[in-house]
C-alpha cells in the first residue's frame, strides 16, 4: 500500500512527486557543482563549453542555445574568460558584436569535467543496473517537452484534453 502524501514529512516516501524530483535535482546539482569546481566550473558554465566546442557563437546565440538570458550568459562568460576557458573577440564584419570561442584549456576542462563515469556515478549511487535503466526511462518521460496547447499530441494525452 502506498503511503499518503505528506509534504511536511521528513520521510521522502511520503512526499509528492514534485517535491521528490526537486529534492533529487538539488542534491545532484550540489554534487555536480562540487565535481565541476575542481576545474572552476559549475552547472551553468559547462553547457557554455559544450556549445562553444561546436564552434564560435555570439553571446545572443549562446544564450539561446543554453536557454538563459543574455545577462546571465554575460556573467557566466566573464567568469570563464577569467579562468581562460573562453575568449571574446570582435566580429570580423561588425566590430560592435563579440564572438565567443572556446580555448584549448577550455576544451581540456570540458573533456575531463564531463567524463561520463563520475558524473553518472554521483547521480545513481547505490542503484542497481536495472534501477538505473528504470530511472533513465522515467526521467526521459518526465523531461520531455510538454505538447503545445491544443495540439493533437496534447489531445491524445489522458487527462490533458
Q: Are strands 98-102 and 57-58 parallel, antiparallel or unpaired?
A: antiparallel
Domains and CATH numbers, the chain: 12-114 (1.10.10.10)
**Residue-level pLDDT at 159:** 47
**Distance from the first to the final alpha carbon of the chain:** 30
**Residue-level pLDDT at 160:** 44
Q: Say if CB 38 and CB 113 are below 8 A apart.
A: yes
Q: Quote the pTM value.
A: 0.70
CA–CA dist 113, 142 (Å, integer): 26
CA–CA dist 87, 148 (Å, integer): 38
Per this entry, what is the length of the chain? 161
**Residue-level pLDDT at 1:** 53
Query: What is the CA 80 to chain-centroid distance, rounded?
Result: 17
Q: Which residue has the cell 542534491?
A: 27
pLDDT band per the 50, 70, 90 thresholds, residue 161: very low
Mean predicted lDDT score pLDDT of the chain: 86
Model confidence pLDDT, tens digit, residues 65-112: 999 999 999 999 999 999 999 999 988 888 778 899 999 999 999 998
Amino acid at each position: 500500500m502506498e503511503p499518503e502524501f505528506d509534504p511536511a514529512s521528513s520521510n521522502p516516501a511520503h512526499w509528492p512527486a514534485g517535491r521528490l524530483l526537486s529534492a533529487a535535482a538539488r542534491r545532484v546539482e550540489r554534487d555536480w557543482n562540487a565535481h565541476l569546481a575542481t576545474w572552476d566550473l559549475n552547472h551553468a558554465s559547462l553547457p557554455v563549453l559544450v556549445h562553444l566546442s561546436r564552434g564560435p557563437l555570439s553571446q545572443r546565440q549562446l544564450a539561446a542555445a543554453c536557454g538563459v538570458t543574455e545577462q546571465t550568459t554575460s556573467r557566466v562568460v566573464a567568469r570563464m574568460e577569467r579562468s581562460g576557458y573562453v575568449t571574446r573577440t570582435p566580429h570580423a564584419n561588425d566590430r560592435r558584436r563579440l564572438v565567443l570561442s572556446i580555448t584549448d584549456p577550455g576544451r581540456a576542462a570540458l573533456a575531463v569535467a564531463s567524463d561520463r563515469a563520475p558524473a553518472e556515478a554521483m547521480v545513481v549511487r547505490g542503484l542497481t543496473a536495472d534501477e538505473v535503466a528504470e530511472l533513465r526511462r522515467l526521467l526521459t518521460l518526465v523531461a520531455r517537452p510538454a505538447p503545445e496547447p491544443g495540439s493533437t499530441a496534447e489531445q491524445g494525452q489522458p487527462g490533458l484534453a
